[in-house]
Structure 1
Amino acid sequence: MFGSYSVVFWNHSGIEVAGSCHFQPFRLSINDTKIKWRPNGTMPTSFCTPECEEGHKKKQEGAHKCCFNCTICQGGTYINITENPYECKKCNETEWSPEGSTSCKLRPVVYLPFTQSLPIAIMFGTLVLVGMAIAVSVLFAVNYNTPVVRSAGGPMCFLILGCLILSSLSVFFYFGKPTGASCVFRFVPFLLFFNICQACFVVRSFQIVTIFKVAAKFPDLIRGWRRYHGQWLFISVAFVTQAIILIIGNEYESSTLENKMSDNKIILGCKIHHETTICFAILPLSFIILGFIFSYMGKSLPKNYSEAKAITFCFFLLLFIWIIFVTTYIVYKGKYIDAINALAILSSLYSFLLSYFLPKCYIIVFQPYKNTHQYFQNVIQDYTKQHS
């Protein structure tokens, strides 16, 4: 096999020597002018020899491995041609890759820090709510014995305002790096203390309706309600029931951290157990239904005793806010979902504070003539004459 060989090419005129090959030492020489390509003199392209571009896998065509097509590797995969040039491998769960990659990159872990503008704005709004609740408490304490404060619920008003402040604590745990404890405090203060606010509003609307609609027909019922402090008993039972539901639910499916994959990022958040969440919402939804029922019963009450209507408006806003949040939660999976959740909580608290207490503050400050016993008696007498 050693020696010299001629390289021949079959032209249209026959076989022609186009070069030579020597093995000792190896030397190959080709005379391109001796080669006549047909039909137009252009050298044909071999479809078997070109290598694939970077980030492409080979797809074999036919029986020969040298013949293949090139297919780009999709996002989330990569190819290592030294190991297997025919297969795109999938990246690990904590990694990602763009289309046509030869390696994977680590996904950055993201969450909403306290320092971003949106969390700062929401937390500032929470502090404003706390300040407004304290201011309303002071105003009601100064005017405690006036008809407006007494008709709004008297001591129950301070319980509602205090629970609104305690409920707002949940907002602050939606920002910063999540932990097991912060996942629990995201919902426990809100669900527990806001439930008390709802129970107070249901009791208040029930009391107003019974005074004008039921007292004359069922006097024993009203006496029993007052004798055994029915309003505080109802609120206590509501508090204990919700506390038990929260304890059992948290023991059954405790709040844990969850890594949500979104595009090329890992969103660090808290896992929401849908079955447990539904159980937590049973009591608040029941109070909303009761509030609507009592409001309908008290739709014709005197205008100075329109707390039932105001409470219904609060419940309507609450329902509207959480329908929007649930819809957004189903559609949107980005890192701002925690901010949207915190905003839903804050909006719920504002709906109760502004819709129920703000009109009464306006009367106390700017319309003091309506905050007198004589004015209230005149309104009640007018109502009695119209419905007698």
Structure 2
Amino acid sequence: MSVNTLNWLLVSYSLLCRWLVLYCSCKDDGSNCRLISASLSLPVLEKNGDIILGGLFSLHDTVVEPSLSFTAMPDLFTPFRFNFRTFRWMQTMIFAIEEINRDGTLLPNITLGYKIYDSCSTPHHALKAAMDGSVCHGTVPVVIGDGGSTQSLVVARILGVFHIPQVSYFSSCACLSDKNEFPAFLRTMPSDFFQVDALVQLVKHFGWTWVGVIAGDDAYGRGGANIFLGACVALHEIIPKNRAQDAISSIISNIRNSRARIILVFALEQDAEALFLFSPHSRTGLTGIQWLASEAWSTATVLSTPRKYHNILQGSMGFAIRHAEIPGLQTFLHRLNPKNTDNHADPFLVSFWEEMFQCSLAVPAEGQKNNSQGKPPCTGAEELKSITNIYSDVSQLRISYNVYKAVYAIIHALKAMRSCVKGKGPFLLQSCPDLQNVQPWQLLHYIKHVVYSTTIGDEIKFDENGDPVAMYDLVNWQFRGNEGIEFVIIGKFDETNTALNQKLQIQEQNILWNGNQTKVPLSVCSSICPPGTRKAIRPNFPICCHDCVVCAAGEISNQTDVIECERCLPEFWSNDERTACIPKQVEFLSFTDSMGITLLVISLFGSFSTCVVIVIFSCHRSTPIVRANNSELSFLLLISLTLCFLCSLTFIGQPSKWSCMLRHTAFGITFVLCISCILGKTIVVLIAFKATLPGSGVMKWFGPAQQKAIIILCTLVQAVICTVWLTVDPPSPHRLMPRESALVILLCDEGSYVAFGLVLGYIGLLACLCLFLAFLARKLPDNFNEARLITFSMLIFCAVWVAFVPAYISSPGKYSTVTEVFAILASSYGLLCCIFAPKCYIILLRPEKNTKKYLMTRTG
């Protein structure tokens, strides 16, 4: 025998002995002890019949026990806090019995009676009631009740000894399924084992891994919480039965400190109410808690009706046993009236009536308007229909439906007993029971094997543990403004559905969470680290608490709860979710991005402007300003500038083998051609002024043929350098794959850096020579000195390319290409604007200056 079993037997034995001392062994011999027992007998609501059904209902939530000195007659116990909900359950039992008696088809010629006791929510009174009705007097072969698991545990141990069947309507403790300890216990209430299974699946469904558990200090609360507890729980608290404010405040403080957003309260509605009766100051920080309710209070009107609970409990969720409609029950509930002679024998009616109407049925003393308790007198003419409360509310018949099923289960068992065929019975020698003298152990056999269907189609039967089929409604407390809290069914749990993950079904779109939110609240100490993250141990926390660290850029994890992330290969990069390596994005100066489009427009505009200048010069080619300084060189310079603008386009677009070779050679040759033309014009300016001296023969050495030769020779040198470059080590596409970047940068590798330096150096050499010569000729006496314009253009050209070198070296990725294109365009615009803009100004706007006389006039 286990230690727990032994402890329960000792408790039951002590309670039994205590009651037997008061009851004097149930003797009926006229002794004084008989008088004491009679004076201490429990109130009972009874009705005679051929077969008497016992009932245990906790009509009061608490009771003050009398002092037992054993030297004087003890006072009667005083009950407190009348429970309208339980009173409805009791009336449902009476309604079912009277319905069966009126019908007469299930048990013809047999009248059912009842003996119903108030167990006052205490094991002591539950045991006294069971002893009085079943054990001592032996008039009750079966007991319906009790509600609380703690009371049922005590009663079931005693009734089990005598094989008296007990059918509970509300006791759900999983411990009562042990048939070795409770052989005569059955119930129409599913075991907490199934409820906890449903709660566990609910928690898993929403991904909550950091859940607090608060339990009532009784068999129901502790048993259910112990089944639910796992290896990692945010907190585990017990609501004390004395409901001390300090203890409740400590629980509230622990809830707040745990940071858990989901709290399961596995307790009776009285204990849950004590928890939520904390002061308004203590509620700070708790309005965002999502409460999970055990079925004991998941539809409790005592918590859903008062407005003081609405801000805290709105959005609460819990499982409730299935509800049903019982036709005619509400009318039956309204029949009660203290003036009705049929109700005079009801010992509970006075308490019910006075509590319902807050009045007193006692006649006040003469001259007093109220009784001694300060309540106005009841007239007896009050109508129950005029008051709406939990007693007359039949919209959520759940436990009442369990009571109704329990009565019919017993009746169907009695019907099966009556249908027994002699010689084919289930007992010794195949005998049948005697319905005129029903033996409890025989009735127990038939109840265990009963199978019947209710009027709404529910099949009622008990498994080998005396438990019914577990089916729950998942209810959500939804706030409806002035209408208060409404219990909305948002899912169900069906234990009979054996399909994988199909027991729990939820309509998530219909859920309103705490605060009328539609988003599922998050409550995790540490969620499962999804792909794309890795686990990092959180110091000084339970093993289930860890941090999920996102994999670094370029690293991935494609499984959950990995410890280390894997690095991608150089040509790959991690996706945004860090779950897979994908090819890196290719980056280059494209015609489609904003920078490429800008450079394209600037380049085309430059070439278009140059063409406009060519057109202007062509139209005015006979004018002095065009003919001055060799118009052929001017046109050649404009053509080369057009090519300079257009060569920048070769730098835009995806690099290829041919584009890489073309862009650098085209750039080198066109710019040398351009600078060669400027050099030729500069030399012509200098020689022209020197040739005006008497006896000078210099001009014959710098005629048009010689000028063309200079241009061809200079350009040919650059062409030779480019040819050697392309032959030995040409530019080629290059993929730059930095590990810290998600980009593959497509560039043109210069190939031979020496050749690239020679190309730039040669351009720089010609530019410097041209600048030097133009500088020498800048002050020659003339109204229109082209050398001055060339000087400015060469200063801009040299400044751009001097700044280009460090910028090109330091620019990352495609921006080095952008820098080179910018240098080409800037220097080209500098040459075009400085050399040709003044000439176009004179041609178009100041034609009076476009004369040989004006141009030849010396200044200075």
Quote the offset at 1:345 in angstroms: 1.7
Other-structure match for 2:807 = 328
Against the structure 1 CA distance between its residues 296 and 323, is the aligned structure 2 distance closer, same or farther, given a 3 Å change threshold? closer
Match of 2:771 among 280, 292, 300: 292
Against the structure 1 CA distance between its residues 115 and 90, is the aligned structure 2 distance closer, same or farther, given a 3 Å change threshold? closer
Match of 1:271 among 749, 765, 770: 749
Cα deviation per residue 1:37-93 (whole Å; 9 max; x = unaligned)?
A: xxxxxxxxxxxxx9x96778899xxxxxxxxx99986543456899xx887654211
Name the SS of the counterpart of 2:780 in structure 1.
coil
Against the structure 1 CA distance between its residues 227 and 332, is the aligned structure 2 distance closer, same or farther, given a 3 Å change threshold? closer
The CA distance in 2 between the partners of 1:228 and 1:99, in whole Å, is: 66
1:1-388, aligned counterparts within 5 Å? 74-78=552-556, 89-97=566-574, 103-213=580-690, 216=693, 219-220=696-697, 222-226=698-702, 229-261=705-737, 263-273=741-751, 274-379=753-858, 382=859
The CA distance in 1 between the partners of 2:615 and 2:747, in whole Å, is: 38
The CA distance in 2 between the partners of 1:234 and 1:181, in whole Å, is: 30
Cα deviation per residue 1:170-216 (whole Å; 9 max; x = unaligned)?
A: 22222232221111222222221221110111121122123335764
Quote the offset at 1:309 in angstroms: 2.1
Quote the offset at 1:361 in angstroms: 0.8
**Bigger Rg, which one:** 2
Quote the offset at 1:119 in angstroms: 2.5
Is the 1:173–1:182 Cα contact (8 Å) retained in structure 2? Answer: yes
Against the structure 1 CA distance between its residues 264 and 350, is the aligned structure 2 distance closer, same or farther, given a 3 Å change threshold? same
Is the 1:95–1:107 Cα contact (8 Å) retained in structure 2? Answer: yes
Cα deviation per residue 1:320-350 (whole Å; 9 max; x = unaligned)?
A: 2233433332232143443443232222221
Quote the offset at 1:99 in angstroms: 11
The CA distance in 2 between the partners of 1:191 and 1:360, in whole Å, is: 27
Quote the offset at 1:352 in angstroms: 1.1
Against the structure 1 CA distance between its residues 258 and 158, is the aligned structure 2 distance closer, same or farther, given a 3 Å change threshold? same
Greater shift, 232-241 or 185-194, is seen at 185-194
Cα deviation per residue 1:88-135 (whole Å; 9 max; x = unaligned)?
A: 654211112489956533211233332333333322322222222222
The CA distance in 2 between the partners of 1:116 and 1:56, in whole Å, is: 33
Cα RMSD after superposing both structures: 4.3
Against the structure 1 CA distance between its residues 227 and 376, is the aligned structure 2 distance closer, same or farther, given a 3 Å change threshold? closer
The CA distance in 2 between the partners of 1:202 and 1:164, in whole Å, is: 14
Quote the offset at 1:241 in angstroms: 0.9
Against the structure 1 CA distance between its residues 270 and 199, is the aligned structure 2 distance closer, same or farther, given a 3 Å change threshold? same
Against the structure 1 CA distance between its residues 200 and 245, is the aligned structure 2 distance closer, same or farther, given a 3 Å change threshold? same
The CA distance in 1 between the partners of 2:579 and 2:852, in whole Å, is: 82
Other-structure match for 1:37 = none
Is the 1:160–1:197 Cα contact (8 Å) retained in structure 2? Answer: yes
Other-structure match for 1:3 = none
Is the 1:171–1:342 Cα contact (8 Å) retained in structure 2? Answer: yes
Is the 1:74–1:99 Cα contact (8 Å) retained in structure 2? Answer: no
Name the SS of the counterpart of 2:783 in structure 1.
helix
Structure 1, gaps ≥5 residues long: 1-32, 34-49, 60-68, 384-388
Cα deviation per residue 1:211-261 (whole Å; 9 max; x = unaligned)?
A: 3357649934x1441358321111110111111111111112112111123
The CA distance in 1 between the partners of 2:747 and 2:655, in whole Å, is: 6
Structure 2, gaps ≥5 residues long: 1-225, 227-525, 537-545
Name the SS of the counterpart of 1:342 in structure 2.
helix
The CA distance in 1 between the partners of 2:533 and 2:608, in whole Å, is: 61
Name the SS of the counterpart of 1:219 in structure 2.
coil
Against the structure 1 CA distance between its residues 81 and 376, is the aligned structure 2 distance closer, same or farther, given a 3 Å change threshold? closer
Name the SS of the counterpart of 1:173 in structure 2.
helix
Name the SS of the counterpart of 1:322 in structure 2.
helix
Greater shift, 100-109 or 73-82, is seen at 73-82
Name the SS of the counterpart of 2:745 in structure 1.
strand
Name the SS of the counterpart of 1:112 in structure 2.
coil
The CA distance in 2 between the partners of 1:242 and 1:151, in whole Å, is: 28
Is the 2:673–2:714 Cα contact (8 Å) retained in structure 1? Answer: yes
The CA distance in 2 between the partners of 1:169 and 1:100, in whole Å, is: 43
Other-structure match for 2:282 = none
The CA distance in 2 between the partners of 1:289 and 1:300, in whole Å, is: 18
Is the 1:110–1:268 Cα contact (8 Å) retained in structure 2? Answer: yes
Greater shift, 115-124 or 259-268, is seen at 115-124
The CA distance in 2 between the partners of 1:342 and 1:243, in whole Å, is: 21
Is the 1:113–1:175 Cα contact (8 Å) retained in structure 2? Answer: yes
Matched letter for residue 825 of structure 2: L
Greater shift, 322-331 or 243-252, is seen at 322-331
The CA distance in 2 between the partners of 1:144 and 1:99, in whole Å, is: 63
Is the 2:786–2:835 Cα contact (8 Å) retained in structure 1? Answer: yes
Is the 2:529–2:535 Cα contact (8 Å) retained in structure 1? Answer: no
The CA distance in 2 between the partners of 1:78 and 1:144, in whole Å, is: 69
Is the 1:169–1:190 Cα contact (8 Å) retained in structure 2? Answer: no
Other-structure match for 1:4 = none
Quote the offset at 1:151 in angstroms: 2.3
Against the structure 1 CA distance between its residues 99 and 296, is the aligned structure 2 distance closer, same or farther, given a 3 Å change threshold? same
Quote the offset at 1:317 in angstroms: 1.4
How many positions carry a matched residue from both structures? 349
Name the SS of the counterpart of 2:814 in structure 1.
coil
Matched letter for residue 272 of structure 1: E
The CA distance in 2 between the partners of 1:214 and 1:245, in whole Å, is: 35
Q: Percent identity?
A: 28
The CA distance in 1 between the partners of 2:853 and 2:845, in whole Å, is: 18
The CA distance in 2 between the partners of 1:320 and 1:157, in whole Å, is: 23
Matched letter for residue 266 of structure 1: V
Against the structure 1 CA distance between its residues 101 and 376, is the aligned structure 2 distance closer, same or farther, given a 3 Å change threshold? closer
Against the structure 1 CA distance between its residues 130 and 228, is the aligned structure 2 distance closer, same or farther, given a 3 Å change threshold? closer
Q: TM-score, normalised by structure 1?
A: 0.73
Against the structure 1 CA distance between its residues 87 and 275, is the aligned structure 2 distance closer, same or farther, given a 3 Å change threshold? farther
Is the 1:195–1:284 Cα contact (8 Å) retained in structure 2? Answer: yes
Is the 2:672–2:763 Cα contact (8 Å) retained in structure 1? Answer: yes
Higher relative contact order (CA 8 A, sep 6+): 1
The CA distance in 2 between the partners of 1:359 and 1:318, in whole Å, is: 18
Against the structure 1 CA distance between its residues 218 and 192, is the aligned structure 2 distance closer, same or farther, given a 3 Å change threshold? farther
Name the SS of the counterpart of 2:831 in structure 1.
helix
Against the structure 1 CA distance between its residues 125 and 331, is the aligned structure 2 distance closer, same or farther, given a 3 Å change threshold? same
The CA distance in 2 between the partners of 1:365 and 1:375, in whole Å, is: 16
